[in-house]
Amino acid sequence: MDRAQRDRPPVYRPGEADASVFKLGARVSALQSALFVVIGVSGLLLGVDRLVDDGFAGLATTHPVAFRTLCAAFVLIAVLGLAITGAEQALIESTNVGLARFGSLLAYLGHGGTIAFFSWWLVHDARSADGNPAHDAVGNAALDAVAPIAWGVMFELVFVGTWVWIIAALLHARGSSPAFVWLSVAKATSFWFAFLALLTDSKPLILFGLGAVTFVTGPIWHAWIPSLFLRTLRERNDAR
């Protein structure tokens, strides 16, 4: 190899991610799978009835530990979402790089909005616990008007849900596992359903939607996708 070849910068080829991207995605996805369950259990402790009747702000005083756990789990699952999005993009971008990049931007927007929203609630709750006046019905209503939970979870359920639809479509286009494609469709559908349920204030629909997301589609999807990351990595290594 002559000097000109040695000094030539490496050429990036779409879809050929570093092994570390897939390995990081596999690790954080397992943690996300567990965090979905944490969110679901926290939500059950807080209660759908209280959420609809008292608003999200009222939950901070009725069950503060579960409230903080829920908010912290949302923040952490979104932070890990920032880490896994690169692996998800690398998994599908060889099929349609433009759509994969657009979808990943939606995912980053969704995760970033989730972090900001639930961090705000954590900070506000901490300030209230440090001696600020206790929340009353009027104050809670004002807080729910400023930062309504339906619009807060929109970042994760709608934007990230759209990203999962794109993942499903591109995996289907390239002939990947039909079972995982259908699981991705189920996950994206459950995300959008849960968001619409929160907009309706229907207790049964909210319970069904959030239960499906946190106990079924979310955990199973994130427990499964690491195997796709690692299999893709092995296939690319074997092809070299």
User: How confident is the model over 125-176, as pLDDT tens digits?
Assistant: 655 654 444 445 445 555 665 667 888 899 999 999 999 999 999 999 999 8
Output DSSP code: residue 18: -
Q: How many CB atoms lie within 10 A of CB 71?
A: 25
Read off the DSSP letter of residue 51.
H
Structural domain harbouring 138: 19-227
Higher pLDDT among residues 16 and 205, named by residue: 205
Per the domain annotation, does 4 fall within a domain?
Answer: no
Answer whether 181's CB lies under 8 Å from 225's CB.
no
The reply to whether 78 falls in a domain is yes
CA angle 225, 207, 31 (to 5 degrees): 30
pLDDT at res. 147: 67
CA gap 134, 128 in Å, rounded: 7
**Residue 166: inside a domain:** yes
- Please report whether residue 51 resides in a domain: yes
In a domain, 202, yes or no: yes
- Total domain count, the chain: 1
Q: Is the residue at 191 inside a domain? A: yes
Is 96 inside any structural domain? Answer: yes
Residues 17 and 84: beta-carbon distance below 8 Å: no
The arithmetic mean of pLDDT across residues 62-80, rounded, is 95
Four-residue CA torsion sign, 143, 148, 153, 155: negative
> What's the mean pLDDT when you consider all of the chain?
87
Tell me the whole-structure pTM to 2 decimals. 0.86
Is 128 inside a domain boundary?
yes
